Amino acid sequence: MTRGGGIAAAWLLFAAQGALAQEPLSAIDWLSEHSAPPITQRDLDRSFERGAYPGVQSVQPPDIEVLPLEVTVEADAVGLVSSRVSGLPSDLWAGSDSDTLITLLRERRVARLPAMQRLLYTLLLAEAEPPKQNGNANRFLQGRVEKLMDLGALDPALALLDRAGPERPGLFDLWFDAALLTGQEDTVCQALRARPTLTQSQAARIFCLARGGQWADAALLLDTSAALGLLSEDEEDLLAWFLEPELFHGVEPPPPPQNPTALVFRLREAVGEPLPTTSLPRAFAVSDLRGTAGWKAQLTAAERLARTGALPENRLLGIYTARQPAASGGIWDRVEALQAFDEAMRRRDTEAIAETLPVVWIAMQSAELEVPFAALFASRLSRIPLTGSAAALAYEIALLGPEYEAAARTTGIKQAELAFVNGLARGSPALPQATGQLERAIAKGFSASATPKGVQEATRDSRLGEVILTAMRQYEQGVQGNLTRVSQSLATFRAVGLEDIARSAALQLLLLRPRL
């Protein structure tokens, strides 16, 4: 019997028998037993402490504003970081067209650009007046949440939705997907059962009815929706299997879909046919951190999310050091190198640190995790009395960390080839010390005396956010080899007060150049 025929026949038998009086078996029990580790206040505080987001002026965590129930907050204005904390004006977006901003946000490719990641998170989470609308309420918030999910940052995406009210038009489906991928489906399903009109997805309604124990209603809706052609083949097959797994013993499972939805992904888990997340969009990697996946899958997901700044560095370290590697090669070699170095640092064993530092640095380079590693260890490394090549490497790591300027002022390596980098970290890269075209382009960006064309006017017209996003696009083009764009982007960042962004972006361009 074919896969589709077997599932269809089993489902027809199931419906005819009225078997919906009984609950699903243990194949789906874990759905209610596991959830993503909640984001902690320490994680939130860390996100906004000094240096976590270059350009942020305050070192205080954001205040939580409590509004009276009768006050309605416009969804597109919602943010997690107030203007006082971010240092960005409240009219950041007000003069721009929402469609233009959404396009600029969607086009940003920051997976390999740590400084741009942090700036993008600041923009995405900023509380500010909404942009000009084109008749589509909540669209700008929807675009911001979609970008956060693209980066794998589901916790802040859920926090934004929660603050706006995820039951608003255009927001519920995002809430549903993010909740499923983080193991928080109970809350979203409770809302959907109370108001079925929140979504057009019949599959979501069926799933949530079943999650609430309304098996007969779920089966009836599945039968009706299938007859009307309102479900995809994957949804129909998997929901039938989900509702009554006993009927599908020996039936060939559905083939893996190329572009699964969050619901299809979770349904396949529930029926014992999980999909690996490595080839799926980054948001799916979060599901491997719910405690249901093996350690290797957790490590792979953690590295993937850390590369976009979606996972706090301390949590990455915690996953790396959770247990001893039982194999070698690939990711296991990185785990072993990191654990050996971390142990040397905890013991403050200078000799062991000098020995393990080059090994772990090569390992972090292979995973493109140099900046998260620097955030974890650069400050502590600066207090270790290293010498020779180990000291030089520790200084390079410090330049990629949040305290790069202090490192340059106190422990800068006095070598001619580092003169330009030392000056850059202090904010004054000298053109005569530039030894290549890239260094000259950076120096030009820092020596620009006039505000780049159009920036002043755009800022005056309440389009600062658009200006920053455009400069980010120029930086991305610069990474691809357009040195004129390097100069333009750095000059713009500095002109609008993002000095930290300009310096860290330039330092990363120089020090990470081989893999960018």
Tell me which residue of 190, 192, 212 sits closest to 202, measured CA to CA: 192
The residues, ordered by sequence, that sit 6+ positions from 70 with a Cβ below 8 Å of its Cβ are: none
Q: Mean pLDDT across the chain, nearest whole number? A: 87
Q: Chain-centre distance of CA 228, in angstroms?
A: 38
Least confident of 71-85, 86-100, 309-323: 71-85
Mean pLDDT of 38-60: 37
The rounded distance, in Å, linking the Cα atoms of 269 and 264 is: 9
Output the CA–CA distances (angstroms, integers) from residue 256 to 147, 217, 259, 266, 513, in the order listed.
26, 28, 9, 13, 38
CA contacts within 13 A on the Cβ side of 346: 7
- pLDDT tens for residues 382-406? 999 999 999 999 999 999 999 999 9
The rounded distance, in Å, linking the Cα atoms of 419 and 399 is: 13
CA contacts within 13 A on the Cβ side of 235: 20
The answer to whether 218 and 243 are in contact (CB under 8 A) is yes
The answer to whether 122 and 157 are in contact (CB under 8 A) is no
* Per-residue pLDDT band at 475 (split at 50, 70, 90): very high
Q: How many helices (H) and strands (E) does the chain have?
A: 27, 0
Q: Which residue type is seen at 499?
A: E
pLDDT at 451: 77
pLDDT at 283: 98
The answer to whether 429 and 472 are in contact (CB under 8 A) is no
pLDDT at 45: 40
Q: Which residue type is seen at 98?
A: S
Contacts of 335-341 with CB under 8 Å at 24 or more apart are 335/299, 337/362, 337/363, 338/363, 338/364, 341/377
pLDDT at 73: 62
The rounded distance, in Å, linking the Cα atoms of 344 and 349 is: 5
Output the DSSP codes for 249-268.
TTPPPPPPPSS--HHHHHHH
Mean pLDDT of 176-185: 97
Query: Is 158 a residue whose pLDDT tops 80?
Result: yes
Nearest 10 degrees: Cα torsion 295, 297, 300, 306 = -80
pLDDT at 98: 95
The rounded distance, in Å, linking the Cα atoms of 230 and 15 is: 18
Tell me which residue of 284, 290, 276 sits closest to 305, measured CA to CA: 284
Burial class (CB in 10 A: 0-12, 13-18, 19+), 188: buried
Nearest 10 degrees: Cα torsion 241, 245, 249, 253 = 30
Query: Is 44 a residue whose pLDDT tops 80?
Result: no
CA contacts within 13 A on the Cβ side of 295: 13
Query: What three-state secondary structure class fits 170?
Result: coil
The answer to whether 88 and 128 are in contact (CB under 8 A) is yes
* Per-residue pLDDT band at 379 (split at 50, 70, 90): very high
* Number of other CB atoms surrounding residue 40 within 10 Å: 11
Query: Is 6 a residue whose pLDDT tops 80?
Result: no
* Number of other CB atoms surrounding residue 87 within 10 Å: 16
SS3 for 372-412 is HHHHHHHHHHCCCCCCHHHHHHHHHHHHCCCCHHHHHHHHC
Query: What three-state secondary structure class fits 448?
Result: coil
The rounded distance, in Å, linking the Cα atoms of 55 and 70 is: 35
Share of residues in the chain with pLDDT > 70 (%): 84
Query: Is 13 a residue whose pLDDT tops 70?
Result: no
The answer to whether 467 and 511 are in contact (CB under 8 A) is no
The full set of domain ranges for the chain reads: 1-36+182-288, 44-170, 331-515
Query: Is 36 a residue whose pLDDT tops 90?
Result: no
Query: Is 336 a residue whose pLDDT tops 60?
Result: yes
Query: Is 430 a residue whose pLDDT tops 50?
Result: yes
* Number of other CB atoms surrounding residue 207 within 10 Å: 28
pTM: 0.85
* Per-residue pLDDT band at 472 (split at 50, 70, 90): very high
pLDDT at 453: 84
